[in-house]
Structures are given as structure tokens and as C-alpha cells.
């Protein structure tokens, strides 16, 4: 189960840089890494953790606009 108690989905991801005490679902992982773009997520395959990236997981970040989408 996802580390975020409000979520309840399957936790499959850990971050090599955060050292969290459990796994997160992909949506919670992206949300928690909104301002930590260089962190390295890994997905549990059932046998090992496979290195991934936030962009591979579908994360999109707006730089230079205080986290908001560019108005132009």
C-alpha cells in the first residue's frame, strides 16, 4: 500500500535520494517530488528495484513560473 495514508493505492516506487520508510504509488511519488527534479525513483518489479526517472513516469515540471504552467 502507498506510504501516503490518504491514497490507498499500491505502492511500487521508492526514491534513492529520499530514504522514505515505505513505497509510494506513481502519482504520490510525482506529487512529492514536485520540487526535487533530480531525485531518482525506482520501481519494484517483484524481484528488484528498476531505476527510472520522473520524466519516464510522466512527470511534467514548469520551470521559472513558481511551479505553475507557463501563461504564454
Per-residue pLDDT of the chain in tens (72 residues, 90 and over written 9): 999 989 999 999 999 999 889 999 999 999 999 888 899 999 999 999 999 999 899 887 767 777 677 777
This prediction has a pTM of 0.80
Asked whether the beta carbons of 50 and 40 are under 8 A apart, the reply is no
- The conformational region for residue 66 under phi > 0 = left, psi -120 to 50 = alpha, else beta, is left
Q: What does the pLDDT read at residue 71?
A: 76
Q: What does the pLDDT read at residue 67?
A: 65
Residues paired with residue 14 on neighbouring β-strands, in sequence order: 42
Asked whether the beta carbons of 50 and 43 are under 8 A apart, the reply is yes
Quickly list H helices, the chain: 26-32
Q: What does the pLDDT read at residue 60?
A: 76
Amino acid at each position: 500500500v502507498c506510504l501516503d495514508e490518504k491514497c490507498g493505492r499500491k505502492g511500487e516506487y521508492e526514491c534513492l535520494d529520499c530514504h522514505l520508510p515505505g513505497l509510494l504509488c506513481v502519482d504520490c511519488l510525482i506529487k512529492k517530488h514536485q520540487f526535487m527534479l533530480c531525485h531518482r525513483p525506482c520501481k519494484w518489479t517483484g524481484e528488484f528495484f528498476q531505476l527510472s526517472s520522473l520524466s519516464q513516469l510522466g512527470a511534467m515540471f514548469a520551470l521559472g513560473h513558481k511551479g505553475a504552467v507557463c501563461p504564454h
